[in-house]
Structure 1
Amino acid sequence: KAKYNKPLYAVVEESCASAAYYIAAGADEIFVDKASIVGSIGVLMDGFGFTGVMDKLGVERRLLTAGENKGFLDPFSPMSAQQKEFAKEMLEQIHLQFIGVVKAGRGDKLKETPEMFSGLFWTGQQAVELGLADKLGSLDYVAREVVKAEEVIDYTRRDNVAERLVKKFGASIGAGSVQAVRGLVPAIH
């Protein structure tokens, strides 16, 4: 964008949430469908803890590490209070960075609400009203009406002839296999 002094447009067809919105916030304009999902300005770290199940089953965890916190997110080891606090502080810092990127990218367009940076998400129509997006518009609309492209080229990857034949052949073999198995298994009445 800076190197070529070109405007950058983000077009959202379905979902522009979390990391996708983090990226889109740097665009000059964000176009959305009124039913798009936009926002989710928050940060999460998830996983599972199986220590209670392991205790009930009598399973012993044998984790060897170099560094007292190397296994810190291991689902089979308990999380210490210090590790939990470390993770919370890190998530808070990343969340503040995310908020800063959104505020810098959207500027005066934002109509901040208490929920805006809570991790909630909105429809495209609501996002426009909140200033999280600029206008309603499809990729075709932006290409033709905003960029004024004379020709629009769709670079979506398509299967070549060989790939289509393999898929068709594979589906035929799969259907034939099902029929063959049905012929071998007696019907139960």
Structure 2
Amino acid sequence: MSNHFRLTDAQMERLKPFFPGSHGKPPSTTGVFCAASSSSTAMACGGATHPGKYSRAKILYSRWKRWSDNGIFARIMMGLAAEQAEHKTIVIDATCLKALRTAPSLRVRGRGRQIGRTKGGMNTKLHAVADAKGRPIGFFMSAGQVSDYTGAAALLGSLPKADWLPADLGYDADWLREALKDKGMKVCIPGRKSRKKAVRL
């Protein structure tokens, strides 16, 4: 019995406008590639296999990297999030992505590596803004040691109009509160213990 993950026809129709095309038509293997990419996540969680020609990891990685470098995955997520988006409340947060031991030694041509030393080792930090349903609106990548509110500063200009923005105490900065209020947002960020003046939520 096959344990491949497959997208339904309806799901493929929703994704089709975001695929790179050849003369206006996506390649015939795009559906298999999407299934293989999803299977990679399932494999990490416990066991699916790659379908078709993408059973070889190198072939899958080559196309996955090309799509990633060209911003196709980001375009898909941003496009889907824009459909029936609920921006009355938006949220912002960040998480660390563990870098491989060999990553710091790799040479990258033309751009710096977004890898930094943290208490948990070498990490990259992903900063993200999402709508009320948790769908991503914007991303920013930084080295692991970069503060949350520095990532917020990078995303500030792209924030949609919203009524509320809740966040954790990593975003407790007076300048950020003022910037969000200037955008007409009500802020729900707890204050740090080190604050001299308490903030009201």
Instruction: Compare relative contact order (CA 8 Å, sep 6+) and give the higher one, 1 or 2.
Output: 1
Q: Which has the larger radius of gyration?
A: 1
TM bucket, shorter chain: under 0.3
Give the TM-score normalised by structure 2. Answer: 0.20
Give the TM-score normalised by structure 1. Answer: 0.21
Greater strand share, structure number? 2
